[in-house]
Amino acid sequence: MKVILRHPKREMELAGRRRVKELLNELDILPGTVLVIRGSELLTIDAVVGEEDVIELRPVISGGGA
Amino acid sequence: MKCRKCGGTAVLELRRHNVAFCAPDFLEFFRRQVNEAVRRHRMFTRDESLLVAVSGGKDSLALWDVLLEEGYSATGLYLDLGIFDYSRESRAKCEAFAAGRGAPLRIVSVEQEVGAAIPEVRAATRRPTCSACGLSKRYLMNKAALEHGFPVVATGHNLDDEAATLFGSVLHWQTEPLARQSPALPSTHPKLVRRVKPLYRLSELETAAYAFLRGIDYIVEECPFAKGATSLLHKDILNRLEDASPGAKHNFLYGFLEKGRAAFEQASPVELNECVRCGQVTTGTLCAFCKLADQVKRSR
Ligand code: SF4
Ligand SMILES: [Zn+2]
Ligand SMILES: [Zn+2]
């Protein structure tokens, strides 16, 4: 599957099926700090993603700001 | 995961509430939380015109969207900070949103008002960039609201922003910011408009999910000066805590608002004057914004 990450924008390829929870774990990302996007859907951590999927992990934390 | 309300496939899990929702039920939950915030803190009424500060990011555009959806008269205010591509892109997002919704948008240039754009202000002062930027934004929001007759300014601060600000203030026991931190700051002077944060009950994950599900095209890239900001460090710490103990942020913030804040408020009454130069409200004689503008002028 193709995984799109941000800040900076980059992509990576991963083999195999897994749950979103495992994917986030592997990438050391806390659930709740990213939107897990597949096309026009949002996925919860128990959803299974597979070879053909393009998954965007979009950070939700915005910073600086006073 | 299944939606708590209808049993359909869930798109978002809200661990702190121990629920998951499908898209339509999540959007409904979101609107309810905004309405609850408005009601609880008497933020504004149906017949008041609102000025919504928009940055092009997920929170402020989600806020503008939900207020328009709820039938409020909401005008956007974009402050052009002059921060390279980030400002160009975020301004374009705000303009596109306004055009798409047929909503009015006002644009104020920080360069014109302060005498220099934020990158130059950054070089001219010893203040942290976000502090100079934040002070300019608050000043210009208030000024724009006063000039155009808006009784209230709404900003997109969410639960995470508020919890991180609170955490920062508590770490240093900054009693004045603690006294002032509130989802709704009433107007305490004729030249100070009310300031409200209708998204304070919604987490960053929720505002991002709302923006995404509503098809709002917001800027995902961050301001280049945000990097390394202490507020991000505090958010990271709170997110780890939240992961281990869902609801921690929520309890931290709500507990302060319900039980802690009043004590600080009583302890630090402030006297408000009008700035000798610009006439806006200050606790001194020359306001912080005018001082900043002086520093910028001197550095040239
Ligand atoms: S991150 Fe800091 S410098 Fe950038 S817009 Fe926000 S407050 Fe201003
Ligand atoms: Zn549902
Ligand atoms: Zn002044």
- CA A19, distance to chain mean position in Å, is 11
For residue A25, the chain B residues in CB contact (below 8 A) are none
Contact B211, B62 (CB under 8 A): yes
Mean pLDDT per 10-residue segment, chain B (300 residues): 97 96 98 98 97 98 98 98 96 98 98 95 91 95 98 98 97 93 95 98 98 98 90 95 96 97 83 95 95 92
- Within 8 A by CB and 6+ apart from B260, the residues are B178
CA distance B69 to B128: 37
How remote is the CA of residue B274 from the centroid of ligand 3, in Å? 8
Residues A39-57: tens digit of each pLDDT: 999 999 999 999 999 999 9
The residue of chain B with its CA nearest to that of A28 is B240
Asked if A64 has any chain B CB less than 8 Å from its own CB, the reply is yes
For residue B23, the chain A residues in CB contact (below 8 A) are 42
Encoded tokens for B18: 């121990």
- Band of residue A65 on the pLDDT scale cut at 50, 70, 90: low
Residue B53 Cβ inside 6 Å of ligand 1? The answer reads no
Helix (H) or strand (E) holding B243: helix B230-244
Pick from B43, B61, B40: nearest CA to B52: B61
Predicted model pTM: 0.96
B62 to A27, A29, B57, B108: CA distances (angstroms): 28, 24, 8, 21
- Within 8 A by CB and 6+ apart from B214, the residues are B27, B62, B65
- CA B176, distance to chain mean position in Å, is 19
Residue B129 Cβ inside 6 Å of ligand 1? The answer reads yes
CA distance B137 to B80: 10
Encoded tokens for B118: 């934020």
- CA B276, distance to chain mean position in Å, is 28
Strands A2-5, A54-59: parallel, antiparallel or unpaired by DSSP?
parallel
Q: What is the ipTM of this complex?
A: 0.96
CA distance B26 to B187: 33
Residue B282 Cβ inside 6 Å of ligand 1? The answer reads no
Task: Give the residue whose CA is nearest to atom 3 of ligand 1.
Answer: B130
Residues B245-295: tens digit of each pLDDT: 999 999 999 999 999 999 998 877 778 999 999 999 999 999 999 999 999
User: What is the pLDDT, as a whole number, of residue B227?
Assistant: 85
Domains of chain B: 23-271 (3.40.50.620)
